[in-house]
């Protein structure tokens, strides 16, 4: 409903009707004012209320249009906090105890995963505790796998954005459940931290001079907290990092600057350079050398590389900016011999594209994360460990994600993504 054309049309019609009514009332108000039957205080109070109402309706119409374009908040339920049917409140320990108890009886392995919200402090960075969302696969609660440690993917949101975005807008948890059930992904944990501390600032995951130490928070505090509080494998071969838009840039830059922490990188509609704008402010203290040290397309030619290192890049076919940036980043990686897979996805710079791209990137990530003796996931159709250049070829569509081809409008039915 929230993404429907009918809601946008209704809001636009309501705004135009309110505008027409305000013009008519203002005409009558002027006549009454000249006749002396209405005072100036009452007249200006009425004008103020009319302007406030028009501003409210126009803002709602513009916000709904932007939300439809980016597919950011898919439903009224999500708008008011119901981000996923898999979300469980109560904290990590309470949810783990509850889920383990439920799965201990009649375990079949087909249960959905669980999303839980945690608070991650920043002892190394000095950053105040921020929220993060964690996807735990059903196997995490299997009594027979109580000693198993899982690989982990750190998934970063865009900007403006918050930690819930990959669940609320991207439906990451539902994609993981579906791909695990199809045998295309081996279970792993997904951690979705807050990279900015809220909507008001875009930190680009930087250690800002005399400011927020965001890189330290994400690479040391968040990773350290996850290693000590979750049953995950604490080695680089079992860690991946990815993101969308600004989060894609962050994933590439953080992984290349911290190769001892991550070995697998995914960037969806990302860039090889930091953004500059009203949300970012001065991230580098006017220090060009510091900025260059955080611009992958500039520092890659001389950066020492640690193997194994694997990179996945994709962008929406109609997203010209991201496609151009993806080409530049791919060229810089290819010149250094970094194994890189590049895909084009149907769509633009929106969650509709990023939801679809997960069905390619998650199996790719699963293949490259070391599984510690567990059977590897079956490779997705057409996938190899070599560089794939698909930006000039066919787009990844709903029909090319390893199941029977279906029209785009039927993607929801095929993958059981509610509200798609």
Under the banding of pLDDT at 50, 70 and 90, the label for residue 278 is confident
Say if 132 falls within a structural domain.
Answer: yes
Task: From 396, 368, 223, 254, select the one nearest 307 (Cα to Cα).
Answer: 368
Whether residue 405 is predicted with pLDDT greater than 50 in this model: the reply is no
Lowest mean pLDDT among 49-58, 83-92, 261-270, 327-336: 49-58
Is the pLDDT at 123 greater than 90? The verdict is yes
Specify whether 206 is located in the same domain as 347.
yes
DSSP at 379: P
User: 225 vs 62, which has greater pLDDT?
Assistant: 225
User: How many domains in the chain?
Assistant: 2
pLDDT of residue 34: 65
Q: Highest mean pLDDT: which of 13-27, 52-66, 337-351, 377-391?
A: 337-351
Query: Residues 6 or more apart from 361 whose CB is under 8 A from it?
Result: 242, 266, 268, 312, 314, 343
Residue 311 structure tokens: 């990179």
Query: Does residue 303 form part of some domain?
Result: yes
Q: What percent of the chain has pLDDT over 70?
A: 68
Of 20, 45, 70, which residue is a domain's last?
A: 70
- pLDDT of residue 70 exceeding 70, the answer is no
Alpha-carbon distance of 241 to 251, in angstroms, equals: 6
pLDDT over 60 (residue 25): yes
CATH code of the domain covering residue 257: 3.40.50.1820
Of the candidate ranges 10-14, 126-130, 252-256, the one whose mean pLDDT is the lowest: 10-14
Position 67 scores a pLDDT of 47
In this predicted structure, the answer to whether residue 270 has a pLDDT above a threshold of 50 is: yes
Within-domain flag for 103: yes
pLDDT at site 320? 92
Residue 75 located in a structural domain: no
Distance of alpha carbon 269 from alpha carbon 275, whole angstroms = 13
**% residues pLDDT > 90 (the chain):** 54
Chain-wide mean pLDDT for the chain? 80
Q: Which of 21, 48, 70 is the last residue of a domain?
A: 70
Task: Looking at the structure, tell me whether residues 293 and 404 fall in a common domain.
Answer: yes
Please give the sequence-ordered ranges of beta strands (E in DSSP) within 144-256, or none if there are none.
152-156, 189-193, 239-244
In the structure, what pLDDT confidence band is assigned to residue 260 with cuts at 50, 70 and 90?
Answer: very high
Residue 420 placed within a domain? no
Query: Are 31 and 97 found together in one domain?
Result: no
pLDDT higher than threshold 80 for residue 58: no
Given a contact cutoff of 8 angstroms between Cβ atoms, the answer to whether 330 and 363 are in contact is: no
Do the beta carbons of residue 40 and residue 33 sit within 8 Å? yes
Looking at residue 217, what DSSP letter applies?
Answer: I
pLDDT at 374 (0 to 100): 37
For the chain, what is the radius of gyration of the CA atoms? 24
Q: What is the pLDDT of residues 364-401, one digit of tens each?
A: 999 999 644 333 333 333 333 334 455 555 555 555 54
pLDDT at 316: 92
**pLDDT at residue 284 tops 60:** yes
Residue 78 token pair:
């999500």
Say which residues have a Cβ less than 8 Å from residue 257's Cβ, sequence separation at least 6.
215, 293, 294
Same domain, 243 and 334: yes
Task: Report pLDDT digits (tens) over 142-200.
Answer: 999 999 999 999 999 999 899 999 999 999 999 999 999 999 999 999 999 999 987 77
Torsion-angle region of 210 (φ positive above 0: left; ψ -120 to 50: alpha; else: beta): left
Q: Let me know whether 165 and 275 are in one domain.
A: yes
Q: What mean pLDDT comes out for the span 285-308?
A: 94
Tell me, yes or no, whether 57 and 152 share the same domain: no
Between residues 259 and 401, the one the model is more confident about: 259
Read off the tokens for 166. Answer: 């990959």
Render pLDDT for 195-239 as a digit per residue (tens, 0 to 9).
998 777 899 999 999 999 999 999 999 999 999 999 999 999 999
- What is the pLDDT, as a whole number, of residue 200? 77
Q: Is 78 inside any structural domain?
A: no
* Domain's final residue, options 70, 95, 112: 70
187 and 212 assigned to the same domain: yes
Confidence band for 23, pLDDT divided at 50, 70 and 90: confident
Task: Give me the pLDDT at residue 56, please.
Answer: 72
**pTM summary value:** 0.77
Residue with tokens 């830059």: 253
Tell me the two tokens of residue 279.
């949300």
80-96: average pLDDT:
74
Q: Is the pLDDT of residue 308 over 70?
A: yes
Please check whether residue 292 lies inside any domain of the structure: yes
Does residue 105 share a domain with residue 58? no
CA-nearest of 189, 211, 210 to 202 is 211
Q: Which domain holds residue 64?
A: 5-70
228 with 276, same domain? yes
Q: Are residues 21 and 160 in the same domain?
A: no
Query: What are the structure tokens assigned to 54, written together?
Result: 């028009």
In this structure, are 22 and 169 located in the same domain? Answer: no
Cβ atoms within 10 Å of 102's Cβ, excluding its own: 13
Do residue 227 and residue 166 come from a single domain?
yes
Least confident of 22-36, 60-74, 176-190: 60-74
């Amino acid at each position: 409903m929230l993404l429907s054309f009918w809601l946008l049309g209704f809001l636009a019609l309501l705004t135009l009707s309110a505008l027409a009514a305000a013009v008519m009332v203002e005409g009558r108000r002027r006549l009454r004012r000249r006749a002396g039957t209405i005072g100036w205080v009452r007249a200006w109070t009425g004008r103020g209320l009319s302007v406030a109402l028009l501003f409210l309706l126009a803002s709602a119409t513009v916000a709904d249009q932007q939300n439809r374009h980016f597919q950011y908040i898919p439903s009224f339920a999500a708008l008011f906090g119901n981000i996923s049917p898999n979300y469980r409140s109560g904290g990590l320990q309470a949810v783990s105890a509850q889920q383990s108890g439920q799965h201990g009886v009649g375990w079949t392995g087909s249960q959905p995963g669980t999303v839980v919200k945690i608070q991650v402090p920043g002892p190394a960075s000095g950053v105040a505790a921020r929220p993060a969302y964690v996807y735990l696969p059903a196997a995490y609660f299997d009594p027979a796998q109580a000693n198993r440690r899982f690989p982990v993917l750190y998934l970063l949101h865009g900007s403006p954005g918050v930690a819930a975005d990959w669940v609320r807008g991207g439906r990451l948890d539902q994609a993981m459940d579906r791909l695990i059930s199809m045998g295309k992904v081996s279970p792993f944990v997904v951690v979705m931290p807050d990279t900015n501390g809220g909507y008001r600032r875009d930190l680009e995951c930087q250690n800002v001079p005399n400011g927020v130490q965001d890189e330290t928070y994400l690479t040391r505090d968040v990773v350290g907290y996850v290693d000590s509080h979750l049953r995950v494998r604490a080695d680089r071969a079992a860690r991946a990092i990815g993101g969308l838009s600004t989060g894609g840039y962050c994933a590439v830059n953080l992984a290349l600057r911290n190769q001892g922490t991550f070995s697998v990188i995914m960037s969806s509609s990302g860039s090889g350079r930091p953004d500059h704008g009203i949300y970012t402010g001065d991230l580098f203290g006017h220090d060009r050398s510091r900025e260059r040290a955080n611009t992958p397309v500039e520092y890659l030619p001389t950066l020492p590389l640690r193997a194994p290192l694997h990179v996945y890049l994709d962008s929406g076919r109609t997203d010209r900016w991201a496609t151009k940036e993806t080409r530049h980043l791919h060229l810089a990686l290819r010149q250094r011999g970094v194994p890189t897979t590049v895909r084009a996805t149907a769509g633009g710079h929106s969650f509709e594209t990023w939801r679809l791209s997960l069905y390619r990137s998650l199996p790719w990530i699963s293949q490259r994360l070391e599984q510690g003796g567990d059977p590897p996931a079956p490779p997705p159709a057409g996938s190899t460990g070599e560089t794939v250049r698909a930006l000039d070829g066919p787009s990844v569509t709903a029909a090319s994600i390893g199941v029977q081809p279906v029209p785009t409008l039927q993607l929801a039915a095929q993958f059981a993504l509610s509200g798609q």
